[in-house]
């Protein structure tokens, strides 16, 4: 590791255009993929150890002024609304078929709990907390790593009750609407992605737009499927 070449997380003043370092690379690794916790107290990121796949999960606590490295990759992860828990799938590179969805308290690295059930075949990934923190939406691939069909799932965290919302091809960019009444995602072949909205009240999915990630951002700002 050449610590002198490592870069941290930067912030930019939108009024002046000036940039400054927000988080220094304390362990000698370049920091990437910054993600704010919903309350703004923490910013998480990967430490770049390898050029491919996800790096070890790390976060900075602004109130305590601490740089906290967990030492292991979490794969795809999401902060709970109160910033106290993380949901993740350990999918740090290509899927192996053994991935599951877990939660772990931020302040207790040893408190890992498996959320998604065991299956004879397939894997679960891409957890996203509902706005009130009582549910997780995630994807289940029942066919294994070679399959592109994904089942959209919403699971109650308290009871473990699972609701399957249909099967879609190559789902990406799963998000909740701000009111928690709908899910937005893109799905379909790589060159023909569509943005869907699933109305959880009506129990139906509708196509909102053609496109992928960029279109999803616009659709999320103007959801058309909430009751």
Q: Closest by alpha carbon to 86, among 94, 73, 95, 74?
A: 74
Q: What mean pLDDT do residues 89-100 have?
A: 95
Q: Closest by alpha carbon to 100, among 80, 75, 78, 83?
A: 75
Between CA 201 and CA 205 the distance in angstroms is 11
The pTM assigned to this predicted structure is 0.90
Q: What is the pLDDT of residues 130-154, one digit of tens each?
A: 999 999 999 999 999 999 999 999 9
At 197, the pLDDT band (50, 70, 90 cuts) reads very high
- Which 3 state secondary structure label does DSSP give 221? helix
Q: What is the pLDDT of residues 167-190, one digit of tens each?
A: 999 998 999 999 999 999 999 998
């Amino acid at each position: 590791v050449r610590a002198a070449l490592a870069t941290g997380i930067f912030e930019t003043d939108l009024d002046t255009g000036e940039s400054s370092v927000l988080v220094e690379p304390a362990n000698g690794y370049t920091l990437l993929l910054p993600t704010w916790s919903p309350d703004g107290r923490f910013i998480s990121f990967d430490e770049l150890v390898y050029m491919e796949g996800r790096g070890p999960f790390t976060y900075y606590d602004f109130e305590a002024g601490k740089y906290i490295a967990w030492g292991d990759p979490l794969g795809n992860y999401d902060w709970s609304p109160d910033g106290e828990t993380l949901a993740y799938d350990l999918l740090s590179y290509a899927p192996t078929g053994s991935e599951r969805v877990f939660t772990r308290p931020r302040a207790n690295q040893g408190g890992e709990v498996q959320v998604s059930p065991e299956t004879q075949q397939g894997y679960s990934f891409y957890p996203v907390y509902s706005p009130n923190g009582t549910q997780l939406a995630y994807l289940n691939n029942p066919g294994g790593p070679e399959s592109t069909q994904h089942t959209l799932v919403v699971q109650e965290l308290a009871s473990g009750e699972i609701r399957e919302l249909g099967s879609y091809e190559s789902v990406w960019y799963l998000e909740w609407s701000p009111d928690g009444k709908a899910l937005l995602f893109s799905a379909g072949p790589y060159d023909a992605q569509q943005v869907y909205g699933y109305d959880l009240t009506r129990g139906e999915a509708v196509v909102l737009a053609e496109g992928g990630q960029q279109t999803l951002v616009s659709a999320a700002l103007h959801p058309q499927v909430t009751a």
